[in-house]
Amino acid sequence: MKVIEKHIVPKIEAPIRLQEYAVGIFKTLPTRSGIKKAIKKQLILLNGKPANTGDWIEEGQVLELRQEDLPQKKIFQLKLRVIFEDEFLAVIEKPSGYPTNGNYFKTIENALPYNLKTSEEEDALPYPIPVHRLDNPTSGLLIIAKTKNAQVKLNQAFEAKEIQKSYLAIVSGAMVSEGVFN
């Protein structure tokens, strides 16, 4: 497994457990629950060995975050329109009739490696991942993360409602009233 982040513990005032100390030291793992999951999956090493939540942290210790090995993704060869792409994220046009992701082969997520370049950044994801979803019958723009840091920041922006989705519907027939539907 590839090490994506490394941290050397500086002088600390009082003993602290890894679970509390590690929150915020890895830019790609900013939450306590993320730290717990990474420790459980043995993705955090303490002095070269898999760490435990109860390990005590001391000055000079080396903490490393490894990238999770994921199974090889089956690629769905569906041509998508790429609106924007850089090393960190992409925006694609999702056609209607395909689920964003899920337990199917013909998903937009499985078509992303066919349409997007792999990031060269240190925290590159093994394959691009949508950070939100659009329902199967819905077409529209979909934001894709290519690095772990972009994925975390975009998820935080959606959670804080800094990114909002808006929909346009075309209706057939007479509408009883006018209004905004939420």
Whether 89 and 154 map to the same domain: the answer is: yes
Whether 54 and 86 map to the same domain: the answer is: no
Whether 98 and 155 map to the same domain: the answer is: yes
pLDDT tens profile 65-99: 988 877 778 899 999 999 999 999 999 999 999 99
Domain that holds residue 128: 81-159
pLDDT tens profile 97-132: 999 999 999 999 999 999 999 999 988 888 999 999
pLDDT tens profile 50-70: 999 889 999 999 999 988 877
Is residue 173 domain-resident? no
| Cα separation, 155 vs 174, whole angstroms | 39
Is residue 178 domain-resident? no
Tell me what pLDDT residue 96 has.
Answer: 96
Whether 60 and 117 map to the same domain: the answer is: no
> CATH number for the domain including 118?
3.30.2350.10
The full DSSP string for 101-159 is SSS-SS-HHHHHHHHSPPP-STTEEEEEEESS---TT--EEEEEEEEHHHHHHHHHHHH
Q: Indicate the pTM of the whole model.
A: 0.69
Is residue 10 domain-resident? yes
Percent of the chain topping pLDDT 70: 98
- The residue-averaged pLDDT of 45-49 equals 94
Phi and psi at residue 142, to the nearest 5°:
-125, 130
As for how many domains the chain has, the answer is: 2
Is residue 14 domain-resident? yes
Is residue 74 domain-resident? no
Whether 31 and 54 map to the same domain: the answer is: yes
> CATH number for the domain including 49?
3.10.290.10
Last residue of a domain, one of 32, 66, 100: 66
Residue 135 known to be catalytic: yes
Tell me what pLDDT residue 181 has.
Answer: 62
Both tokens of 63, joined, read 């903490």
Is residue 8 domain-resident? yes
Is residue 174 domain-resident? no
Tell me what pLDDT residue 182 has.
Answer: 62
